[in-house]
Chain A
Amino acid sequence: MKSIISKLNKAFESRVKLGIMSVLVVNDYVDFNTLKELIQTSDGNLASHLRILENGGLIKVTKQFVGRKPKTTYKATSLGKKLFKQHINALEELIKKK
């Protein structure tokens, strides 16, 4: 039991981070507003969670201009996808053990 719990990744503990990663593993890339709409949290809260994930190398941030408007898109890195899948597997194992 203990070994499975240790497989749970601390990086995905918060609900917001869990939400961000869930969206990014099934979509090529997603912009800030779409994430906000899906996760339903404040700009500041979302941005700070995104920054932590970016610093951990789990997501990649791209800034570009669409016309005159800046647009920021987010993408899961291969490391991020791998770790998130491990996290899901660990969660599923834990539920089965019940």
Chain B
Amino acid sequence: MMTNQHDHFKDIQDIKSMMEKSSKFLSLSGLSGISAGVIALIGAAVAFFLLDYGSIKYDENFYLLPPHQYEHIMISLFLLGLIVLVSALGSGFYFSWRKAKKQNLPIINRTTYLLLNSLLIPLITGGILCIIIFFRHDVNRLASITLIFYGLGLVSASKYTLSEIQYLGISEIILGLLAAIFINYGLIFWALGFGVLHIVYGIIAYIRHEK
């Protein structure tokens, strides 16, 4: 009887793990979030220096700066953004790849496609919108828009991965909306959303799933 009991329990465990493994991308690592957050914070700090230690206000008058200064800052910020994006993605991918290897799971399988598919549609939409806004000189909305669309992407991807991602997404959306109201504090909201939130949720996910 005892062995029977044990078998039933193991059956249920097997069923649960198989359901999760087959429908969710479980290799997302908390360390990916932490590293992306740290990189974003460094990026925000560099942006702060580029804006002359905050003496240049990132506000509705931003585009009224002398043209050469405006152009110089915009190109630097654009390059900085690109470097931050690529290195955050790279480090995120590295830690997830490491976790997948540890779990003995392939990093690219069906759930990877499901995850990326639902993440990328809002993300690319937001990216295109940012480029349009960038060329329309309405740059003070960028922090808000990047946060909101990133949050939407996370919420839509969350059904295919760790449950924490949904809460991270909702938090990003709320910050994005706040950034739209308090438009002069865009950089601070951006640092909170892409830096602090990533680190906080990364630590939570790491403690809950990898420790």
Contacts and interface: CB of A to CB of B under 8 A. Distances in A.
5 contacts: A25-B19, A27-B23, A27-B110, A38-B22, A91-B8
A91 B22 CA distance: 21
A18 interface: yes
B8 A95 contact: yes
Interface in A33-69: 34, 37-39
B8 A22 contact: no
Contacts of B18: 18-19, 22-23, 38-39
A2 interface: no
A88 interface: yes
Contacts, number: 48
A74 B21 CA distance: 17
Contacts of A39: 18
A22 B22 contact: yes
B112 to A, nearest CB: 12
Contact of A94 (B5, B21, B109, B110): B5
Interface of A: 15, 18-19, 22-23, 25-27, 30, 34, 37-39, 88, 91-92, 94-95, 98
Contacts of A95: 5, 8-9, 12
A15 to B, nearest CB: 7
B90 interface: no
Contacts of B15: 18, 22, 88, 91
Interface residues of B, number: 16
B23 A98 contact: no
Nearest to B114: A27
Contacts of A23: 18-19, 22
Contacts of A37: 106, 109
Interface string B1-36: 000010011011011101101110000000000000
Given A18-B11, A88-B15, A98 B22 contact: no
A18 B12 CA distance: 10
Contacts of B110: 27, 30, 34
A88 B19 CA distance: 13
A74 to B, nearest CB: 12
A53 B109 CA distance: 25
A19 B14 CA distance: 8
B22 A26 contact: yes
B23 A26 contact: yes
Given A27-B110, A34-B110, 9 more contacts: A18-B15, A22-B14, A22-B15, A22-B16, A25-B19, A30-B110, A91-B15, A92-B12, A95-B5
